[in-house]
Structure 1
Amino acid sequence: MTELDKILQLLKKGDRRGLELLFNHFYKPLVFYAMNFLAQQEEAEDAVQEVFIKFWEGKRFHAIKNSLRPYLYQSVRNYCLNLLQGKKVVLTESIGSGMDMAENEYLDESEWNTRIDQLYKAIDRLPDRTREIFKRIVLDGKRHKEVAEEFEISVTTVKTLLARALAVLRAELNEKTYSILLLFV
């Protein structure tokens, strides 16, 4: 039984620990995913929190038979699109790429984990400084300026190293695995 199966079991029993584990497992990746649709990180965070609240209060976990991952990503996507529709925002290219990436959320658990492992191994092979800057921005969610100050380099250098990291990862990873990375960028 996978960790996500255990979380789903706890949720179906009404155990709040299940919600806590679910939140810890999915919150950050879902926020990054929501940022493909929404311009502001705060909006993305609010959207994900709202999805979690509705998921728990509406006891929507009872309807899930297989995997939590596709359900949560689809819920976040729908919530974000509804928000944008309410604002009457004209959707651009980023939404199209977000739609393409949604296919990744339907990978089964073992394939998803395999791709995530490939992604982290490729990140670990980046040159030291490039890897650290990449991790600070993409995985830790820091701003370019914060990272530049931390490493005592210019913002331009941070952007250049990040672009290099993405280029190396794009060349090294297959398209589906690379598109998972785009959920976090």
Structure 2
Amino acid sequence: MLDYSKHIDSDLARLFRSGDDLAFKEIYIRYDKLLFLYAFNKLHNEEEAKDAVQDVFLWLLKNRHSFILKTTLSGYLYKSTLNKIFDIFRHKDIVKKYIDAGDYYIDVDSEETDYLIREKDIALRIEQEISSMPPRMKKIYELKRKHFLSTKEIAMQLNISENTVSNQLKKASKNLKNKLGVVIYVLYILNS
């Protein structure tokens, strides 16, 4: 009998796709707890985190034969879990505000619909976190990220030391990473 715990992820994915249930069991054992912790860190709700992870594994089982891995197995599973987390946020009416306001048009048959909704989810979540920062930290962060001022320019404008500006920016970034997760924060920084 094969010892599945010694297989690398790509082998497990290949075996699973070919119908090997023991390979799926090993994937589940290997990633279930890690994905749960990842989801719980974002959702702060144990039941929702469990549901998100179970949905990922259920989808995997249902789509076994069409499952094509274009990245690492862990990357695929984490991204799938993140997508489920976004679905949960959407069900909590995060996007409803944008739809009600008519800020953008959604074509239900469009392949870009899902991407647009997720992008709006992320943007709203980031804005909420920035709004909840202490006033001085928020001002410094917005001057840096939205007005593209240097640390020196911010210090001069607010009549504070560059060191204070740097410390406030570090604290703001750390808080956003903790609350949003590193992946979302990095995507935000790259797109801003």
TM-score w.r.t. the length of structure 2 is: 0.47
Q: Larger C-alpha radius of gyration, 1 or 2? A: 2
Structure with larger RCO (C-alpha < 8 A, sep 6+): 1
TM-score w.r.t. the length of structure 1 is: 0.48
